Chain A
Amino acid sequence: MPEGRAQRPRRSLEAVEVHGAGQLMPHHVHEILLVSSLYDSFTLSEDGKLSDLIMSEFLDMNLRHTPGVTQVSTGREALQLARANPRFNLIITSLQVGDMDSLELARRVKELRLNIPVILLAYDNRELTQFMAANDTSDLERAFLWQGNAKILLGIVKYVEDRLNLSHDTGEIGVPAIIVVEDNVRYYSAFLPMLFTELMNHARDLIPDGLNLAHKIRRIRARPKILLCSTYEEAVSFFDRYPDDILGVISDIEFPRNGKLSHTAGGDLARHVRSIREDVPVILQSSLTKNQELADEVGSSFLLKGSPLMLNQLRRTLQHDLGFGDFSFRMPDGREIGRAGNLRSLAQQIREAPDDSMVFHGEHNHFSRWLKVRTEFALAEQLRAVRISDFPSVGAMRDYLAGVIDVYRRERNQGVVVDFKRENYDASAQFYRIGGGSLGGKARGLAFINHLLAEFKAADRFPGVTITVPDTVVLGSDVFDTFLDRNNLRDFAISCDDQDEIMETFHRSPFPEDTLLDLATYLKAADYPLAVRSSSLLEDSQYQPFAGVYETYMLPNRGTDLNHRLEQLVSAIKRVYASTYSIHTKRYIKATPYRLEEEKMAVAIQRIIGDHHGSRFYPHFSGVARSHNYYPAEPCTTEDGVAAVALGLGETVVSGENCVRFSPRYPKHLMQFATTEDLLEHSQKTFWALELEEDHISISGVPALSEGGPETNIRLAKFGLEQAEKDGTLASVGSTWSAENDVVYDGTSRPGMRMVTFAPILKHQLFPLAEILDYLLEIGKKGTSSPVEIEFAVNMNTVDGGSREFGFLQIRPLALAPEVEEVDVDSIPRSDQVCQSTSVLGHGLVEGIRDLVVVDYHRFDRSKSLPAARRVGQLNSMLVKEDRPYILIGVGRWGSADPWLGIPVAWDEISGVRVIVEAGFKDFKVTPSQGTHFFQNLSSCNVGYFTVNPDAGDGYIDWDWLSSTPAVDETDSVRHLRFEEPLLVGMNGKKSAGFICKPKR
């Protein structure tokens, strides 16, 4: 962009919402306390019941917050109620309220520090004028005059809200405001409701531009504010505070200045405004036609008060001067040459309009103002900073403006959930929803990522890589409800224990017709393989990880027969629905505080990231990354996170097969690949892909799905690396082992055995994977305020040289065990602890362990470590058979290859262990072993791992207690202890600290 002026950083409306704190209109009038005599209230409700009246006004305006009204007839009652219920945040009172007058009420409210604005609503202008003239009314927020139009209530409420929200909405976010200067109560009591109504109508007209309900509400809330002032000083102070955000000034001509009525105040104000912001329009109004001249003199428009055409005049003024309605392209002489009703047509006409017109609008800042009125604050701000003089030519300005608007339009469509409309579906947005209700946990996560990416403008952050949420359509939970209710399936599904019967019944039941039509429309444009994923209400909830309880189905979605594809899709959706009632789920839910009746299922239908390679379809690689790593190894810390990646579909990672693990902050430090043997043993040998060959698996819809069984992801197939090499996908992640030299070479340029190491990416900058993951984990943490786990897939698209795609598939807050953080290790008496360490891997509380296998410090002889290892192995197989997890405590390194340094057990000899403790021996200190096998198994089995060196002052272990506790089995130094009461293990992964408590006696 050309060198502009310094500008306040502004966020788009959507951005404002993401950041919670920036919610527009934080203050709302919830409950109105109406204090009026019986007579007055009778007057008020002449047209019907007052609250109904208000309700209808507000509903008509499409407002979400409809305030409640409570009527009392005395000041005393009013004060009592206001004190008792903090929801009352507006008091509207008539002049006299039985026991006191409105002034006294206002004064008392202030004295009680209730912080509720008190508005005087008078019924008689003469009475009011006398009252105002005779009293100091500064305790009253403002006075209004009832003139038989219930819209006055709307005006009062909006007036109060605008005042309260001004500093937040306008000051911080930049919502524009219109200053109205008028000291005549009667006049502004009529004018204000009219103006508000116009603004609301305008905001409503903008709605077709908004995309979904949340978006719509935001637009309405972002309508310009109205600042009603009665004096010159008040008006000037508002203007001077928010000069950038004042859309215009509508002012009376005669009103008080310096405490006295001034005949020139309007003109002076206009001049003041002009001197600071030349482009801010000032509209003067007066009941005297002669004042037209004054208006002309100061370059203002003029409105004649009391004119029968007042409303039309006002509308015209709003459009012409303040930029409401369509944008009107004009020549400098005022001749209209074109109109633009939305951003697209604005950009288009900017490209076509004559130079003179462009200069005219540019000089007067019309584009920015118009955008601001349309609540496009970020764009408005961007354009405001631009001056014609910044550009070498009008053409350059034209290109710049149109370009900026286009970019903005594209970005605005990112990160939004768009309601699916059959009539105009064009697949242009990334995220659609069909049907109402909840999106469910998973889809909400997806929508959130979509949002996050747009908010942080992550899409283009890494050159040559597009970061996206793969195109998604979500069936809201209402579709699920409709399907169940129309087919009467709910009770049946909950009570039926036969999974197959549920599945079959669901398949037989017709799918809602309307949704079917939507899906057909969607499929016409979607000719790529699809993942049909469950998205239940309870899924991915932070403390109830339902992740993986429900099903995901992959569909080839191939072939020209739309009906056939639709049939498959619907069948998969029904399967997901049915899985809500699977035995597995029923059992799972029993263990949670939820009830199955509460569960609802939305379904996310998502494009699968990948490419066709012959009959196979798969991404170059997939993976999972976590922002926290509870098994960190030097130089990584817990906070550096950890990622696991594999060639092909993510199945490899998710099912715990061999894959590459690394910390996004240290992608070149791979724990698992220290030696060639490690590499051979722990690297990926096969990969998963979707097999799309028609004759490979029957695709006759339902039967094929049934054959797959509910636990099978149909059409998934495994291939060897030689296939990946042929497909050209291995080169980006492969290395080569030379048996002759026993060396693993990065890349696939040499002959030898291929293996997956990700070296070309992690070591040789083929793709900024580590940087992207680090970045996404960081924004994920910011966005959710908690540690997160993300799933992703990457398509390198090497065949046609197109852009590389990083698909962001899932985000989940990582379930932390908060209770451990609250346990203060030092508060537990040492005599109650078996062991305490500040070098612990793992996280969480482990309860219910009653078995302990210990290689006893006092009995152990280093030359007898082999028999000790075998004995541990025997005890392990016994304990595994009995399904009794145990704690293993020993001296030296567990799993040491060197029998002199510890107990040389293999992993399968301690497979049932839940917590491992390794302690320093008499003459040597242990360092955490983290042998590759161990490391891998520890983290995947979530085993706790304590290292203690009491002699070096590092940690504590009660060898004497372990030694003196009677054993159920004792062979040389290996002792098996069993307890009636469980031991308690606590680990804090963030602090790497932990303890083991002795059983309670």
Chain B
Amino acid sequence: MSDFVKSLMADVTAKNEAQPEFHQAVEEVAGSVQVVLDRHPEYRSNKILERIIEPERVLMFRVPWVNDQGEVQINRGFRIEMNSAIGPYKGGLRFHPSVNLGILKFLAFEQVFKNALTTLPMGGGKGGSDFDPKGKSDQEVMRFCQSFMTELQRHIGPNTDVPAGDIGVGGREIGFLFGQYKRLRNEFTGVLTGKGLNWGGSLIRPEATGYGAVYFAAEMLKTRSDSLQGKTCLVSGSGNVAQYATEKINELGGKVVTLSDSGGYIYDPEGIDAEKLAWVMDLKNVRRGRMSEYSGQFKSATYTEVDRSLDHNPLWAHKADCAFPSATQNEVNAVDAKNLLAGGVFVFSEGANMPTTQDGVDQFLDKGILYGPGKAANAGGVAVSGLEMSQNSLRMSWSREEVDGHLKRIMTDIHQNCVTTAERFGMKGNYVAGANIAGFLKVADAMTDQGVV
């Protein structure tokens, strides 16, 4: 850790007491852009990093509401308007009892770079409340949302700050929030994303992350004049990301041989084709059944139950070309990484959030395989949020194909951005460094251009 980062961290810790999550996030970013600061003193002298860690504005407000028993309840509302250098503040609202200033600052800070990386004009922000929607009636949730928006509406707008959903804020809450905003401001604008399809929402939302991860992998392969055609792929998980990644892989000529859930995984060497996938989608989305049923349905497959006494996940030990971890955090550890490499995997695109432990990532970078970190590879979800804003501004609703086309273009742009940035800083092929630096640079340059604001 350089002296600069050390003193910066000392400052951050002193100024932001009891916000350990935020400290860690700042330290990570500072570490990853060290090389930029070393090479380009203008970022240092403009105090870009010092400015970027200080939110442009922090709103903290009272949210009073009345529960079904007629008792007055008071929650605390937040909106962190972190950075608007490249576009209106954009980021989710979280309703959860754990919400506090430190957590939201940490999330808003990360959002700035995530959004910048998408190449879309979106700043960074985050907000929410310590309200717990669990066990509340619809009416209570509605009254809370209305009270929350009654204050928030004066700070947001389609060109100022466009919140989205997050934990505890789904389609229902977005609906209540939007309704109150529209009523108070007397205008129908794209002030929130995640809206209902019939009132301003976008298509391809469930598909976006899975599709995006596959597009990103295809782009990575392209750098070696290769494609997904004929590639054997390991996919973990069986939710939206895994299902749509599988769909897109099939579309692009690859063969998916694994899927999993919390009970275990299936290995189908003949591949999970469109027909089998349709069956899986019915199983998981409609019947909410277990993956173990797959091997009963399709004789070519074997099912392996989760064994917690193992130090690795045997799913990653199968021979393959590509892997798409699409289940959960930390599902790939150092042993798994070793197995993957031994099994011939040379494309690794993260559909899940932070699925690989640091010692796993280090091995991938070491061996120089095509490793697409989640930050870049699973930006599809954020991208479609941006596309919802675009459609709202245009007062248009694009077809599935149009949205998918834009998604593919965005993923290509992100990939390109990562590649050129990494190369520029002498780390060719390192998508992790590329993604970290590209996001930062985009924001830093815009801030520089716009003067000390």
Contact = CB atoms under 8 A, between A and B. Distances in A.
Interface of A: 633-635, 666, 668-671, 674-676, 680-681, 683, 685-686, 720, 738-744, 753, 763, 862-863, 866, 873-874, 876-878, 896-898, 900-901, 906, 908-909, 923, 927, 930, 932
Interface in B166-185: 167-168, 170-172, 175
Interface residues of B, number: 42
Contacts of A680: 285, 288
Given A680-B288, A753-B285, A862-B20, A900 B203 contact: no
Interface in B16-72: 18, 20-21, 24, 67-69
Given A738-B197, A927-B97, A930-B134, 10 more contacts: A669-B140, A685-B286, A685-B289, A739-B285, A743-B170, A743-B172, A753-B285, A877-B308, A901-B98, A908-B306
Interface of B: 18, 20-21, 24, 67-69, 97-98, 103, 133-140, 167-168, 170-172, 175, 194, 196-197, 201, 203, 205-206, 262, 285-289, 306, 308-309, 329-330
A720 B287 contact: yes
Given A740-B201, A742-B170, A923 B285 contact: no
A634 B133 CA distance: 11
A900 B196 contact: no
A163 B317 CA distance: 93
Interface of B is mostly: loop
B148 to A, nearest CB: 17
B134 A900 contact: no
Given A635-B67, A674-B168, A753-B285, A863 B137 contact: no
28 contacts: A635-B67, A635-B135, A669-B135, A674-B133, A676-B170, A676-B171, A681-B288, A683-B288, A685-B287, A685-B289, A740-B206, A741-B196, A742-B171, A742-B194, A742-B205, A743-B170, A743-B171, A753-B286, A862-B20, A863-B20, A863-B24, A877-B309, A896-B98, A900-B20, A900-B103, A908-B306, A927-B97, A930-B135
Contacts, number: 98
Nearest to A658: B288
B121 to A, nearest CB: 25
Contact of A635 (B69, B103, B168, B196): B69
Contacts of A900: 20-21, 103
Contacts of A720: 287
Contacts of A932: 134
B447 to A, nearest CB: 29
Contacts of B329: 866
Nearest to A923: B18
Contacts of A743: 170-172, 175, 196
A874 B308 contact: yes
B386 to A, nearest CB: 18
Contacts of B21: 900
Nearest first, the 9 closest Cβ-Cβ pairs linking A and B are A743-B171, A668-B137, A674-B134, A671-B135, A741-B171, A877-B308, A633-B135, A741-B196, A669-B135
Contacts of A898: 98, 103
Contacts of A930: 134-135
Contacts of A927: 97
Name the residue among B98, B103, B285 with the largest chain A CB count within 10 angstroms. B98
Contact of A668 (B138, B171, B285, B287): B138
A753 B175 CA distance: 20
A743 B176 CA distance: 12
A909 B137 CA distance: 31
Name the residue among A676, A740, A900, A901 with the largest chain B CB count within 10 angstroms. A740
A542 B84 CA distance: 67
A225 to B, nearest CB: 53
B138 A866 contact: no
A681 B138 CA distance: 19
A871 to B, nearest CB: 11
Contacts of B205: 740, 742
A671 B136 CA distance: 7
Nearest to A927: B97
A721 to B, nearest CB: 8
Contacts of B68: 635, 666, 668-669
A338 to B, nearest CB: 61
Nearest to B357: A866
Contacts of B203: 740
Contacts of B137: 666, 668-669
Nearest to A870: B308
A866 B330 contact: yes
Contacts of B285: 680, 739, 753
B368 to A, nearest CB: 28
B196 A671 contact: no
Contacts of B308: 873-874, 876-877, 908-909
B203 to A, nearest CB: 7
A856 B136 CA distance: 34
A868 to B, nearest CB: 13
A675 B95 CA distance: 11
Nearest to A908: B262
A664 to B, nearest CB: 14
Contact of A739 (B134, B175, B201, B206): B206
A908 B307 CA distance: 11
A909 B306 CA distance: 11
Name the residue among B138, B167, B203 with the largest chain A CB count within 10 angstroms. B138
